[in-house]
Structure 1
Amino acid sequence: MIDLFLSLPPVVQALLGGCFTWSFTALGAAVVFMTRRFNQRLLDGMMGFAGGVMVAASFWSLLIPALDLAEEMEFIPWLPVASGFAAGWIFLMLLDRIIPHLHIGFPVEEAEGMKSSLHHTTLLVLAITMHNIPEGLAIGVAFGAVALAIPQATIAGAMALTIGIAIQNFPEGLAVSMPLRREGISRLRCFWYGQLSAVVEPVMAVIGAAVVILARPALPVALAFAAGAMVFVVIEEVIPESLKNGFEATATSGFLAGFLVMMILDVGLG
């Protein structure tokens, strides 16, 4: 099975990686079929864990390789990386200002982005979908870098990043489906909306892989772009959501555990 995966074109590898992470979002959303209630403390801890994975992935899997690669290409190492990081953060900040969305656990009156009459459920799904844009890009860029035979990029590292993102996608699917169930929405619709939030990941993974394959010099910028976008999402959305309900110690411990797990995955496999 592994040999078959390695023989596939890199864009197809990225697509499968995005589908793999999407499946974990669906698994998290599927918990709604098994229970009516979910422990809020545990959910906040899991959201903290997701944030820790994203920050660790940004550093270990994206920024460090981007700096090494920029130096190897004889660029001023910090310049393309800093530019990509800033571009990623500004891009997500603009999406945050434009796309109507609602953070989990917040009343609909506190929806962000452009004013709209979208349903509460749709606003929740859009919020999580925004989380998944940089994650899909990161997966695609990682597999695209492997295709270019760059020493800093390994298939093990790309797979480690994919596994880490998949693990943190589980609580994101759960974080959409369970609040909707508490509002009386049917289990099937809760699951549908929960998994729907990650459909963007395979799409962005393909785009990320294609971009770096077609434009090799842009790879350090692309890696840093994904990192900047992910860090913005963590600070602007994931951390506030995990701390909102008064379980700060649990959320903080979850964040540190997620950072540690992703670090081990990246260093151990990459």
Structure 2
Amino acid sequence: MKEVISFFENIDPVLAALYATLFTWGLTAIGASLVFFFKKMNRKLFDGMLGFTGGVMVAASFWSLLAPGIEMSPGEGFEKTIPAIVGFGLGALFIYALDKVLPHLHVNFKMSEKEGVKTPWHKSVLLTLAITLHNIPEGLAIGVLFGGVAAGFEGASIGGAVALAIGIGIQNFPEGFAVAMPLRGQGLSRWKSFNYGQLSAIVEPVAAVIGAYAVMTFKPILPYALCFAAGAMIFVVVEEVVPESQQDKYTDISTLGFIGGFMVMMTLDVGLG
């Protein structure tokens, strides 16, 4: 792990953000590749993995984003929370706006429950876009942290950025699976199901590069940007991930998965950050 951190310390931060999110994209592709080996999806396992995803995202929102954002904010007392409040709220509103505009369909939901503007797009595209919504704040968060390190902000560290990338990569594995397997169940070929699954994470490198470049260019926005990513991630968890994991009878399994994901991300961030 020391070698990994040393590698990221010695390259351009924008390039570091790109490499880190190519890693998270790769784990999404590995998760989607399970469609070549399984004929159907085990619902208990699926709900547990969705819960795990939510736990990782909530833990990352606090340990990797909100807490450092508050720590590096100027002022004292209530004044110190202003960047967190503003950034967190704007992040949630950003995903809320995308949720209302971007056509998508949550996993485990019927076509009649699709969201966003009306469109004749196929269910496979809508399912992929739903997971893509998850990945925008994740890529942005990684990029913002790497940009913060380059800008020299106290509280932003390469270890923390690497920990976040690893945690998001781990939870991207079941996300790829969560797209590919339902599509296979609808009759798509294994190859098409895999392609849709891995494409859901293609937005992460793009968002990461934008986040890193923005923070390096406009240094004062870092506390706001960190909390913006946190607000976006929490919105996704509450509005999408948790409801998706609670659609069947395995609610306890998904809840335990959530707890496990939270513990894994917390351990990574504290241990490496």
- State TM-score, norm by structure 1: 0.97
Q: Quick one: distance in 1 between partners of 2:113 and 2:34?
A: 27
Are 2:208 and 1:190 equivalent residues in the alignment? Answer: no
- Deviation (angstroms), 1:4: 3.9
Partner of 1:52: 55
Any idea what the Cα deviations from partners look like across 1:162-203, whole Å, max 9, x if unmatched?
A: 000000001100000000111111000000000000000000
CA RMSD of aligned residues (A): 1.4
- After superposition, the Cα gap between the structure-2 partners of 1:207 and 1:68, relative to the gap in structure 1 and judged at 3 Å, is same
How many residues are aligned here? Answer: 270
Matches of 1:148 and 1:193 in 2, distance apart?
36
Matched, 1:64 2:67: yes
Q: 1:116 corresponds to which residue?
A: 119
Deviation (angstroms), 1:73:
9.7
Match of 2:34 among 15, 31, 34: 31
Q: Matched residues in 1 for 2:16 and 2:200: separation?
A: 21
Structure 1 position 148 matched with structure 2 position 156: no
**SS of residue paired to 2:248:** coil
Q: Percent identity?
A: 56
- Tell me if 1:164 matches 2:175: no
Corresponding position of 2:104: 101
Aligned twin of 2:129 = 126
Normalised by the length of structure 2, the TM-score is 0.96
Unmatched runs of 5 consecutive residues or more in structure 2: none
Matched, 1:225 2:228: yes
Gaps of 5+ in 1: none
Kindly provide the CA deviation profile for residues 127-177 of structure 1, in whole angstroms up to 9, marking residues without a partner as x: 000000000000000101111122201100100000000000011000000
CA contact (8 A) 2:135 2:204 kept: yes
1:6 corresponds in structure 2 to 9
Matches of 2:78 and 2:247, distance apart in 1: 43
* Residue matched to 2:83: 80
Match of 2:266 among 243, 253, 263: 263
Q: After TM superposition, which residue ranges in structure 1, 4 or more long, deviate above 3 angstroms?
A: 1-5, 71-75
